[in-house]
Amino acid sequence: MGYLAKYRRKYGKSFMAAIFFLTIEALGDLLQPTIMAKIIDVGVSGRDMGYVLRMGGLMLLITLIGAVGASARNIISSRVSQKFGTELRSDLFRKIQSLSFRSIDKFERASLVTRLTNDVTQVQNFVNGLMRIFVKAPLLCIGSLIMAARLEPELSLILAVVVPLVGLLIFMNMRVGFPRFLKVQKALDQVNRVMREYLSGVRVVKAFNRFNYETEKFQEANAEYQTRSVAVMRAMSIFNPAIMLTVNLGILAVIWLGGIRVDQGQMQVGSIIAFINYMTQILFSLMTISMVFNMFVRARASTARIGDVFAEENPMTWKEEAAFASAEAKGRIDFENVTFSYEGEGGEPVLKGITFSCLPGETVGLIGSTGSGKSSLVNLIPRFYDADSGTVRVNGRDLREMDPHQLRESMAVVPQKTVLFTGSIAANLKWGKEDATREQLERAAQAAEAAEFIEKLPEGYETKLGQKGVNLSGGQKQRLSIARALLREPDILILDDCTSAVDVETEARIKASLKAYSRGLTCLLIAQRITSVMDADKIVVLDNGELVGIGTHDELIKECRVYQEIYRSQIGKELHADVNA
Ligand code: DUT
Ligand code: MG
């Protein structure tokens, strides 16, 4: 995982410090049984109270040093893992922000959230665990083996049988457990996915009374999760008792053989106790190792998922030089034989050979049936996506040479789907211009026909939106989002069907004030209603990704079949409505 190298470099030293203290702690643990054996064998059996006290003191001292080591290691490992997790999370967040729309489409938003939260936490926990127990376990295991062998070389023969046997059992445990464990992870992902889908569509679910269907879907996923978990537990269930049995048989053998040797005067009782202590320490560390391996499997899956995001390259390039728009080209947009598909070159094109221009100061209407590619077309202008072939020019410059960041400074987009953020109305508007004054806010709100309803709200511009705040109607939100765009004082304004929830008169007023608000503004206006675009300087008609007509209303109504159809269907209906009224 290449991206982890940075953190390895940064936290390597602290990590080693934690390992150092961990070693002290482990050494303390290793010495204890031997000292105890001495106390029993020399002190107690020799009735030497002074020796017992001296060795007891030593034992206390070692315990103290071990405790200090443990505390230091605890402090370091918590700090390092927390810092590492926080940094990884914010790096990932920054990376996600830099992703192109194509990449975001690819990952699916919800999964990016899981990567940012759950996956980072898994890796963080693993790093923490690594510093706490992982290194300690092999240390204790090998150390205990050596100490035990030094203490009683003959009894170590039992270890030579028991330890490989336990090792084998643990290995088999992991072999059986891993694949099943991965399946549990997958099932859990599925439970999360169903839940996410339900929550994001909860209104629709309730509206269509699909509650039972959703519940069933959830129960299915949940049951699958249960089955998988039970399968793991069942497969694993024989191993722990088997390990315990093996070790206990080993202890039995130690006591039995040790007893014989004590009888023969070749060995002392304390050594047997110490030996058994070492044996349980070995067992304990082997079990810890297997536990950490479990954590490792999870962390590895998470690391890979995070790595996928970091590996995602933004293929957009640009030239560094400052973009100077010549005065006469400022606000100009040109499409030249543009073809575009969401899958990238070779995919099903949603725009085919589009050629047209918006001159500075023009208002260009964009109309066409739903799915005809209107939004896709305007998405190319702020470089949300790059065209597969053909050229898009803004201010007379090829977009492929322009820094998207700089490009977007000079334009404002009102997206089809209104997005407002938690916070006050004023804060939301200021997205358009951070340092906007109150007058500027009011002027933009006025132009977007939003001022009136904002002033009626109890707290006016300071009214909080979103969670715990007020909820606005669809049309009110649309007008706020127009005001936000206007505040930017852009050269190019793109309105993607953003008056769909506003009544016809209000829409007409908004359109009238747009021109007055900002002179020389190039405006691209997408609409479903033909009345919204009828008075534009130029109307572009899209049909199924192709440009099928361009011109003024009068020209199109004569020549363009698609335009005629839209006109007939909409205006016809409205006349009909008038008659009924
Ligand atoms: N499309 C995608 N991926 C997207 C967005 C759209 O594949 O992220 C497809 C769906 C459709 C085509 O592109 O077949 C054109 O969609 P677009 O949103 O551009 O259509 P529209 O003219 O804006 O439709 P509407 O009036 O419903 O907004
Ligand atoms: Mg659209």
Residue 325: inside a domain, yes or no? no
Is the CB of 375 within 6 Å of ligand 1? yes
Q: What is the distance between the alpha carbons of residues 530 and 485, in angstroms, rounded to a whole number?
A: 23
Count of structural domains, the chain = 3
β-strand 333-340 against 351-358: which pairing, if any?
A: antiparallel
Best mutation site among 375, 377, 378, 500 for ligand 1, i.e. most ligand atoms within 8 A of its Cβ? 375
Tell whether 456 and 506 lie within a shared domain: no
Is the CB of 342 within 6 Å of ligand 1? yes
Domain that holds residue 232: 2-311
Query: How many angstroms separate the first and last alpha carbons of the chain?
Result: 69
Q: Give yes or no for a contact between 162 and 250, defined as CB atoms under 8 angstroms apart.
A: yes
Q: Which of 311, 342, 359 is the last residue of a domain?
A: 311
Is the CB of 374 within 6 Å of ligand 1? yes
Is the CB of 436 within 6 Å of ligand 1? no
- Ligand index nearest the alpha carbon of residue 544: 1
Which residues, at least 6 apart from 89, have a Cβ–Cβ distance to it below 8 Å? 116, 120
Is the CB of 372 within 6 Å of ligand 1? yes
Q: Using N-to-C axis directions, what is the helix angle for 269-311 and 49-98, rounded to 10°? A: 10
Tell whether 302 and 338 lie within a shared domain: no
Q: What is the distance between the alpha carbons of residues 60 and 552, in angstroms, rounded to a whole number?
A: 95
- Ligand index nearest the alpha carbon of residue 344: 1
pLDDT of amino acid 253: 92
Q: What is the distance between the alpha carbons of residues 556 and 549, in angstroms, rounded to a whole number?
A: 7
Is the CB of 376 within 6 Å of ligand 1? yes
By alpha-carbon position, which residue is closest to atom 5 of ligand 1?
Answer: 376
pLDDT of amino acid 469: 66
pTM of the model: 0.76
CA separation (Å) from 142 to 135, 149, 246? 11, 11, 19
- Ligand index nearest the alpha carbon of residue 373: 1
492 has pLDDT over 80: yes
Tell whether 402 and 436 lie within a shared domain: no
Tell whether 110 and 13 lie within a shared domain: yes
Residue 340: inside a domain, yes or no? yes
Residue 397: inside a domain, yes or no? yes
Tell whether 293 and 379 lie within a shared domain: no
Determine the distance separating the centroid of ligand 2 and the alpha carbon of 451, expressed in angstroms. Answer: 27
Q: What is the distance between the alpha carbons of residues 441 and 425, in angstroms, rounded to a whole number?
A: 10
pLDDT of amino acid 517: 82
Residue 327: inside a domain, yes or no? no
pLDDT of amino acid 383: 92
Residue 316: inside a domain, yes or no? no
Q: What is the distance between the alpha carbons of residues 365 and 541, in angstroms, rounded to a whole number?
A: 8
Q: Which of 279, 311, 343 is the last residue of a domain?
A: 311
Nearest one of 124, 118, 37 to 80, comparing CA atoms: 124
Amino acid found at 290:
S
Torsion of CA 71, 74, 76, 81, to 10 degrees: -170
Q: In this prediction, what percent of the chain has a pLDDT beyond 70?
A: 96
φ and ψ at 441, to 5 degrees?
Answer: -60, -50
Length of the chain: 581
Is the CB of 349 within 6 Å of ligand 1? no
Please write down the HEC assignment for all residues of 39-50: HHHHHHCCCCHH
> Which token pair is 298?
């999870």
Ligand 1: nearest atom to the Cα of 105 = 8
CB-count exposure of residue 431 (10 Å: 0-12, 13-18, 19+)? middle
SS3 162: helix
Residue 319: inside a domain, yes or no? no
Tell whether 362 and 463 lie within a shared domain: no
Average pLDDT value over all residues in the chain: 87
Q: What is the DSSP letter of 106?
A: H
| pLDDT tens per residue across span 215-252 | 999 999 999 999 998 988 888 788 888 888 998 899 89
CATH of residue 199's domain is 1.20.1560.10
Tell whether 397 and 427 lie within a shared domain: no
Is the CB of 498 within 6 Å of ligand 1? no
| pLDDT tens per residue across span 242-260 | 888 998 899 899 999 988 9
Is the CB of 347 within 6 Å of ligand 1? no
CATH of residue 519's domain is 3.40.50.300
Determine the distance separating the centroid of ligand 2 and the alpha carbon of 375, expressed in angstroms. Answer: 4
- Ligand index nearest the alpha carbon of residue 414: 2
Nearest one of 388, 385, 426, 430 to 404, comparing CA atoms: 385
Tell whether 86 and 144 lie within a shared domain: yes
Q: What is the DSSP letter of 118?
A: I
Q: Give yes or no for a contact between 527 and 365, defined as CB atoms under 8 angstroms apart.
A: yes
449 has pLDDT over 60: yes
Best mutation site among 372, 377, 499 for ligand 1, i.e. most ligand atoms within 8 A of its Cβ? 372
Q: Give yes or no for a contact between 289 and 282, defined as CB atoms under 8 angstroms apart.
A: no
In this prediction, residue 578 has a pLDDT band, given cuts at 50, 70 and 90, of very low
By alpha-carbon position, which residue is closest to atom 27 of ligand 1?
Answer: 370
Tell whether 204 and 264 lie within a shared domain: yes
Tell whether 434 and 359 lie within a shared domain: no
Residue 376: inside a domain, yes or no? yes
Nearest one of 12, 13, 5, 7 to 84, comparing CA atoms: 7
| pLDDT tens per residue across span 109-160 | 767 887 888 889 989 988 888 887 777 888 888 999 898 888 888 888 888 8
Tell whether 203 and 340 lie within a shared domain: no
Average pLDDT rounded to a whole number, residues 465-491: 86
Q: Greater confidence, 266 or 381?
A: 381
| pLDDT tens per residue across span 290-337 | 778 777 877 887 888 899 899 988 778 887 765 565 666 788 999 999
Q: What is the distance between the alpha carbons of residues 68 and 419, in angstroms, rounded to a whole number?
A: 54
Q: What is the distance between the alpha carbons of residues 187 and 225, in angstroms, rounded to a whole number?
A: 5
pLDDT of amino acid 374: 93
Long-range contacts of the stretch 26-30 (C-beta < 8 A, 24+): 26/136, 26/139, 26/140, 26/143, 27/66, 27/143, 28/62, 28/63, 28/65, 28/66, 28/69, 29/66, 29/140, 29/281, 30/140, 30/143, 30/144, 30/147, 30/281
Q: What is the DSSP letter of 246?
A: H
Is the CB of 428 within 6 Å of ligand 1? no
Nearest one of 476, 514, 513, 509 to 495, comparing CA atoms: 514
pLDDT of amino acid 575: 46
In this prediction, residue 579 has a pLDDT band, given cuts at 50, 70 and 90, of very low
Q: Which of 480, 506, 522 is the last residue of a domain?
A: 480
Q: What is the distance between the alpha carbons of residues 45 and 16, in angstroms, rounded to a whole number?
A: 43
SS3 38: helix
576 has pLDDT over 50: no
φ/ψ region of 47 (left if φ > 0, alpha if ψ in -120 to 50, else beta) reads left
Torsion of CA 241, 247, 249, 254, to 10 degrees: -160
88 has pLDDT over 90: yes
φ and ψ at 273, to 5 degrees?
Answer: -60, -45
Residue 435: inside a domain, yes or no? yes
Ligand 1: nearest atom to the Cα of 376 = 19
503 has pLDDT over 80: yes
| pLDDT tens per residue across span 504-527 | 888 888 888 887 887 788 999 998
| pLDDT tens per residue across span 331-367 | 899 999 999 998 877 788 999 999 999 999 899 999 9
CA separation (Å) from 213 to 200, 216, 220, 246? 16, 5, 11, 50
| pLDDT tens per residue across span 407-443 | 888 899 999 888 888 889 999 999 988 888 999 999 9
SS3 489: coil
When mean pLDDT is compared across 43-47, 65-69, 463-467, 540-544, the lowest value belongs to 463-467
Determine the distance separating the centroid of ligand 1 and the alpha carbon of 115, expressed in angstroms. Answer: 28
Q: What is the distance between the alpha carbons of residues 31 and 62, in angstroms, rounded to a whole number?
A: 8
Tell whether 288 and 433 lie within a shared domain: no
Determine the distance separating the centroid of ligand 2 and the alpha carbon of 373, expressed in angstroms. Answer: 7
When mean pLDDT is compared across 35-39, 49-53, 464-468, the lowest value belongs to 464-468
Ligand 1: nearest atom to the Cα of 343 = 7
CB-proximal residues (5 Å) to ion ligand 2: 375, 416
